[in-house]
Amino acid sequence: MTDAAGGWRPLHRGWRPLFALFLVLTLVASIVLYVLSDRTDDLFAWTVLPPISAAFLGGGYAAGFVLVALTARERTWAAARIGTVTIFVFATATLAVTLGHLDRFHLDRGGAAAGAAWLWLVVYVVVPTGMAAMFVVQARVPGTDPPVRVPLPPWLVGLLLAQAVVLAASGVALLAVPQRIAPGWPWALTPLTGRAVGAWCLPLGVAAVLAARERDAWRLRAAAVTYVVLAVLHAIALVRFRGDVRWDQWGTWAYLVVLASMAVAGIQGRALARRA
Confidence band, pLDDT 50/70/90 cuts, at residue 110: confident
Around Cβ 147, how many Cβ atoms within 10 Å? 10
| Residue 259 CB partners (closer than 8 Å, separation 6+) | 231, 234, 235
In the chain, domain spans: 15-274
**Whole-number average pLDDT of the chain:** 95
Q: Per-residue pLDDT for 3 more than 70?
A: no
Mind listing the pLDDT tens digit for each residue in 185-235? 999 999 999 999 999 999 999 999 999 999 999 999 999 999 999 999 999
Confidence band, pLDDT 50/70/90 cuts, at residue 2: very low
Q: Per-residue pLDDT for 72 more than 70?
A: yes
Specify whether the backbone of 111 is left (phi greater than 0), alpha (psi in -120 to 50) or beta: left
122 vs 254: CA distance, rounded Å: 35
Average pLDDT rounded to a whole number, residues 255-275: 95
51 vs 121: CA distance, rounded Å: 22
Contact assessment for residue 198 and residue 171, using Cβ atoms and an 8 Å cutoff: yes
Q: Per-residue pLDDT for 4 more than 90?
A: no
Mind listing the pLDDT tens digit for each residue in 24-66? 999 999 999 999 999 999 999 999 999 999 999 999 999 999 9
Average pLDDT rounded to a whole number, residues 55-84: 96
State the number of CA atoms in the 13 A half-sphere of 61 facing the CB: 24
pLDDT in the model for residue 127: 94
Q: Per-residue pLDDT for 82 more than 90?
A: yes
pTM attached to this predicted model: 0.94
State the amino acid at position 195 in one-letter form: R
Mind listing the pLDDT tens digit for each residue in 119-162? 999 999 999 999 999 999 999 999 999 999 999 999 999 999 99
3-state secondary structure 6-46: CCECECCCCHHHHHHHHHHHHHHHHHHHHHCHHHHHHHCCE
Percent of all residues in the chain with a pLDDT value above 70, rounded to a whole number: 97
pLDDT in the model for residue 109: 86
Contact assessment for residue 54 and residue 193, using Cβ atoms and an 8 Å cutoff: no
State the amino acid at position 179 in one-letter form: Q
Q: Residue 99: is it exposed, middle or buried by C-beta count within 10 angstroms (0-12/13-18/19+)?
A: exposed
Confidence band, pLDDT 50/70/90 cuts, at residue 276: low
Q: Residue ranges of the alpha helices (H) in 148-190?
A: 154-176, 178-181
